[in-house]
Every structure is written in C-alpha cells, then in structure tokens.
Amino acid sequence: MARPDKAAAVAELTDQFRESNAAVLTEYRGLTVAQLKQLRRALSGNATYAVVKNTLTAIAAKEAGVEGFDAHLAGPSAIAFVTGDPVEAAKGLRDFAKAHPALVIKGGVLDGRALDAAEINKLADLESREVLLAKTAGVLKASLYQAAYLFTAPAAQAVRTIDALREKKQSIDDAA
C-alpha cells in the first residue's frame, strides 16, 4: 500500500494536471535555487513551476489521462503547470532557457495533446492572444468595410450617372 504522503502528492499532481490547460516538462539540472526562484517569478502570471518526482508524476499523469510524459521522465524533472496563456508561458520558459542553458525543455502537453520540445518552441514563437485577436478584428473590420463599399457602390454609380445626365441636359439647354 502507498504511503499517505506519496498518495497525497499523486493526488495533488493529478489535480494540477486536470486544472491546467497545458503542462511543460523540463530538466533543471545545474540551476541554482536562486535561478529556480527567478524562473518561478517569471512564470507567476501564467503558470506554476514545481519540482516533481518522476514515478509520482507518471502515476498522476496516467490518472489524469495525460499521455506523452512517460518517455521524458528521466533525471531531475520539474513541470510548469500552465493555467493562463500557454503561449506566454512557453515564451517565458524559452527565454529563460536561452539565458540559462541548464534548463532543458523536454516536452509537454497542451489540451490533452502531447508536444515535444520543438513544438513548444513553435508555440513560443506565436504572437500573444491579444495580438492575434487584434489582427482578427482588423481583418473582420476590413471585410465589413469592403462589403459596405460593395453595397453602396451601385447607388453611388447611379447618382454619378444622374448628375452627368443633368449636366449634359443643362449644357444642351444653354446651347439652344
């Protein structure tokens, strides 16, 4: 039978897997406590970063229905449980890994889909949610403007034709 403290740790990890919309598995070998603290502060708005035991994490991931972590659970592991914007969290981890090469991104999961390190870097290269929403709004606004222009074009053309006919009639009347 499992010890109560290990069972509680598995239950907590399982809850974190279920409550987060993404999780990124990293190896932190070679980082100091101060650097880990700095990383936690950098991720604080979007994610929580926790050092985990591999066997307990494998059990919790299986209980939460998360697949794709088992192959990467070797060595000292830590997980960033993302509750905010996954793109911002991926950017934070990527930028920290660039500044501190000891941090290695192993893989992750996003909305139940397993990701490798390259896919997490691609996710980090995306623009933020707000920028993407602004671009979408701009495209929709342009489409609406174009549609409005197309709807008003026949009426404007008719007005220009009537004005041209009026001017031609007046020039004929003036000449006669």
pLDDT at 114: 77
**pLDDT at residue 95 above 70?**
yes
pLDDT at 1: 39
pLDDT in tens, 19-63: 888 888 888 788 788 888 887 888 777 788 888 887 888 888 787
- Residue (of 23, 146, 27) closest to 77 by Cα position: 27
Residue 26 token pair: 């990293």
pLDDT at 104: 83
Range 131-139 average pLDDT: 79
**pLDDT at residue 105 above 70?**
yes
pLDDT in tens, 148-176: 777 777 877 877 888 888 888 888 887 76
pLDDT at 50: 81
Q: Give the angle 74-30-66 at the CA atoms, nearest 5°.
A: 30
Q: How far apart are the first and last CA of the chain?
A: 113
Residue 165 token pair: 């006919």
Contact 22, 112 (CB under 8 A): no
State the Cα–Cα distance between residues 114 and 131, nearest whole angstrom: 26
Q: What is the edge-to-edge ordering of all strands in the sheet holding 77-82?
A: 47-52, 77-82, 22-27, 104-110, 113-116
pLDDT at 45: 79
| 2 — pLDDT class (breaks 50, 70, 90) | low
pLDDT at 155: 78
| Global pTM exceeds 0.95 | no
